[in-house]
Amino acid sequence: MASTWLITGATSGIGRLVTERALAAGAQVIAVGRRSDRLAELADHAPHGQVTAVTLDITAPEAERVLAEAVRTAGGLDVLVNNAGYGLFGAVEQIDGDKARALFDTNVLGNLTVLRATLPTLRASRGRIVQISSVNGQLAWASSGLYSASKAAVELASEALAHELAPTGAKVTIVEPGLFATEFATSLDVVPPSDAYAPTVGQFLARFSQLPASAFGNAESVADTIMAVAAMEQPPLRLAVGADSVEGIRESLRSRAAELDLWASFSPEPADQPA
């Protein structure tokens, strides 16, 4: 029997590529996105009835109900690709409350909304949950503070979820892409830095804007990785995708381990307990 997938952010970037691959593999896809025209295009190019298009902002009050109903109508769910999100870059101090709330509403609370709507069915099917994070879920640069924080929240919630789901057979994988050529990279919300942050945030953003095309990987490889993970009997909890992600996370872990060892003496050993 063909599997059923739910993919958020299905109209562009990695979400669109995964949707196309899942359809080519014969899956039924609940494609979720905010662009009804792009969802219609997906449905038009797929075999009749293979796509259920759901035009939805996952931060909307009705999102959980709409998604749960789509899953019920589909008769079940085998794979969730929780992909919707966006990037906001700028100095921590200079990102105002409205922008910060909007970021966390989408990248964190929206992600959780999708999970609440789908987990009952995924537990029953012993399904696969693919949580799309980022290299920035493991490390932060000058300018990525709030975006990194939103992805770190997804990472730790997903790690806890993996422990909680372990007895059910449902599996969670956190995918951590590096820099890839998608609409995400060209549609970032960037808050220009003030003079105080020009040497740090400003310098980083200037370097980023001058990266050559060769610095961005082919997003097809991320989609291929997600397809492979969804088919694994024992998938990894975390999977960095792209050499820059692997090396960046490795260096961050080395630095953290070295700092932990350097300052471990500030944490006294526990006192001996009485017999």
User: Annotated catalytic sites, by residue?
Assistant: 133, 147, 151
d(CA 208, CA 200): 12
Residue 90 is given by DSSP the state S
Query: Do 122 and 129 touch, CB atoms closer than 8 A?
Result: yes
Q: Which residue type, as a one-letter code, is found at position 106?
A: T
Query: Do 91 and 146 touch, CB atoms closer than 8 A?
Result: no
Q: What is the DSSP string of 16-40?
A: HHHHHHHHHTT-EEEEEES-HHHHH
Q: Which helix (H) or strand (E) holds 81?
A: strand 79-82
d(CA 18, CA 224): 8
Length of the chain: 275
Indicate the pairing of strand 4-8 with strand 79-82: parallel
